[in-house]
């Protein structure tokens, strides 16, 4: 009995020591409300102090601050990059916090439904906004190109909704879901008025965004050391790759880790750059200098290494056109796939099909390999 009491006292002391490190004033409702009002005055995104927002902020203060502290390098690396691209596209700079919710700042993140990258683009949404996907490259994972595509998409959504909260909700659920919620609400066009008619994930999406933005805009008050106005990628440059090249070749020839090359170039899904001057690689400036000076020797080395390989590299398969196909009587996915030179799994992914069942006159999005 005494032993149990002893452990209970120790445990209580441990819990108290943790909470004693937390500034209780950060949980004060008036403090949160006042800070939120100051943020609201400097952003076109409407930041209302609602019970759901307050609850989410307090929950995130308990559960997310440590995550932000542990990932401070990612925050300092990506946030300035996002800010620069968003500013160029005249998007509210606070949108830079969206990828934290979407992907936790993991450029290689893939959701259960196939949304990929920092901004969690679905396949054809990415294509429609200028990103390339093929056997070697998935630009949804490219921090620069995916951010530019996200900015374009957000601008399109703003032209539809003219309200940044609805834009964010639409980014999460899709424009059709927001349109249906507006109709169900009786014609309201304000996010907070249509919120009861949204799916629960989308209903919680804006409070999550506001809470994330709130904590990181007041980062110092929460003990998070975010660097301001820093260049996102210091001392790196882009180079054109003329010949098919693997990350391991660069690593071996220039004595530079493949992990670092992957970090700067996450969109090359097999660690291979196709070449032909169409693809760029981001490397440290000192390595670029060495590359330029030894370019001929390097490509000769690459060729000799590829010649040693037993397995051929996959053919480059680029998808750059879309058609909408109406299913005819008696057709099935395998027949349609053969017709357009694609895989059944491709058609299912493009159309979010959970099984092989299709019906006559159903419309399918196809990115044909042949016509």
Rounded to an integer, the average pLDDT of 160-176 is 95
Structural domain includes residue 334: yes
pTM, whole model, 2 decimals? Answer: 0.76
Strand segments, DSSP code E, in the chain are 236-241, 245-246, 272-273, 279-284, 323-326, 363-366
Confidence of residue 229 (pLDDT cuts 50, 70, 90): very low
Structural domain includes residue 44: yes
Question: 266 and 165: one domain?
Answer: no
How many residues does the structure list for the chain? 371
Question: 133 and 161: one domain?
Answer: yes
What domain range is 186 assigned to? Answer: 24-222
- pLDDT value, residue 96: 97
Question: 190 and 160: one domain?
Answer: yes
Residue holding tokens 């916090």? 97
Burial call 212-248: b when 16+ CB within 10 Å, e when fewer: bbbbbbbbeebebeeeeeeebbeeebeeebebbbbbe
Question: 55 and 176: one domain?
Answer: yes
Question: 159 and 32: one domain?
Answer: yes
Is pLDDT of 160 > 70? yes
Is pLDDT of 172 > 90? yes
Structural domain includes residue 14: no
Is pLDDT of 15 > 50? no
Question: How far apart, in whole angstroms, are the C-alpha atoms of residue 219 and residue 222?
Answer: 5
Q: Which of 307, 333, 351 is the last residue of a domain?
A: 307
DSSP collapsed to 3 states, 253-270: HHCCCHHHHHHHCCCECC
Question: 243 and 301: one domain?
Answer: yes
Q: In total, how many domains does the chain have?
A: 3
Report the range of poorest mean pLDDT among 68-82, 176-190, 265-279.
Answer: 265-279
Question: 94 and 216: one domain?
Answer: yes
Q: Distance between alpha carbon 339 and the CA centroid of its chain, in Å?
A: 34
Give the CATH number for residue 331: 3.10.350.10
- pLDDT value, residue 36: 96
Question: 211 and 243: one domain?
Answer: no
Question: 57 and 170: one domain?
Answer: yes
Q: Is the Cβ–Cβ distance between 249 and 281 less than 8 Å?
A: no
Question: 44 and 74: one domain?
Answer: yes
Give the CATH number for residue 122: 1.10.530.10
Structural domain includes residue 7: no
Structural domain includes residue 13: no
Is pLDDT of 319 > 80? no
Rounded to an integer, the average pLDDT of 244-269 is 90
Q: Is the Cβ–Cβ distance between 253 and 301 less than 8 Å?
A: yes
Output 1 or 270, whichever has higher pLDDT: 270
Question: 300 and 352: one domain?
Answer: no
Rounded to an integer, the average pLDDT of 122-134 is 93
Question: How far apart, in whole angstroms, are the C-alpha atoms of residue 109 and residue 171?
Answer: 17
Question: 278 and 150: one domain?
Answer: no
Rounded to an integer, the average pLDDT of 222-236 is 67
Structural domain includes residue 314: no
Number of H helices and E strands in the chain, helices first, is 18, 6
CA-based end-to-end distance of the chain: 80
Q: Which of 275, 307, 339 is the last residue of a domain?
A: 307
Selection from 116, 370, 81, 56 nearest residue 236 by Cα: 81
Is pLDDT of 235 > 90? no
Structural domain includes residue 34: yes
Structural domain includes residue 160: yes
């Amino acid at each position: 009995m005494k032993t149990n009491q002893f452990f209970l006292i120790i445990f209580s002391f441990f819990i108290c020591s943790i909470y004693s490190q937390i500034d209780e004033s950060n949980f004060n409702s008036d403090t949160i409300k006042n800070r939120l009002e100051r943020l609201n005055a400097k952003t076109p995104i409407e930041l209302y102090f609602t019970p759901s927002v307050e609850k989410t902020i307090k929950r995130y203060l308990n559960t997310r601050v440590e995550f932000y502290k542990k990932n401070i390098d990612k925050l300092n690396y990506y946030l300035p990059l996002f800010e620069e691209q968003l500013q160029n596209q005249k998007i509210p700079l606070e949108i830079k916090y969206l990828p934290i919710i979407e992907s936790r700042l993991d450029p290689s993140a893939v959701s259960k439904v196939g949304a990929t990258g920092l901004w969690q683009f679905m396949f054809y949404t990415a294509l429609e906004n200028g990103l390339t996907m093929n056997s070697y490259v998935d630009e949804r994972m490219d921090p620069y190109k995916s951010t530019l595509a996200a900015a374009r998409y957000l601008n399109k959504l703003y032209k539809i909704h003219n309200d940044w909260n609805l834009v964010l909700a639409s980014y999460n659920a899709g424009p059709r879901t927001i349109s249906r919620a507006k109709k169900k609400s009786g014609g309201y066009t304000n996010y907070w008025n249509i919120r009861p008619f949204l799916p629960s994930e989308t209903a919680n999406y804006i409070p999550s965004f506001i809470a994330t933005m709130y904590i990181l805009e007041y980062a110092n008050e929460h003990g998070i050391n975010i660097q301001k106005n820093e260049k996102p990628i210091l001392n790196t440059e882009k180079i054109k790759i003329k010949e098919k090249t693997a990350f391991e070749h660069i690593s071996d020839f220039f004595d530079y880790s493949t992990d670092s090359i992957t970090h700067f170039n996450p969109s090359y899904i097999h660690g291979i750059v196709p070449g032909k001057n169409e693809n760029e690689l981001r490397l440290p400036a000192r390595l670029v200098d060495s590359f330029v000076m030894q370019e001929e020797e390097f490509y000769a080395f690459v060729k000799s290494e590829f010649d040693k390989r037993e397995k051929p590299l996959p053919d480059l398969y680029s998808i750059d056109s879309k058609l909408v196909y109406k299913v005819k009587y008696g057709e099935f996915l395998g027949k349609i796939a053969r017709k357009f030179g694609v895989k059944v799994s491709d058609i299912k992914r493009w159309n979010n099909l959970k099984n092989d069942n299709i019906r006559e006159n159903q419309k399918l999005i196809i990115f044909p390999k042949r016509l």
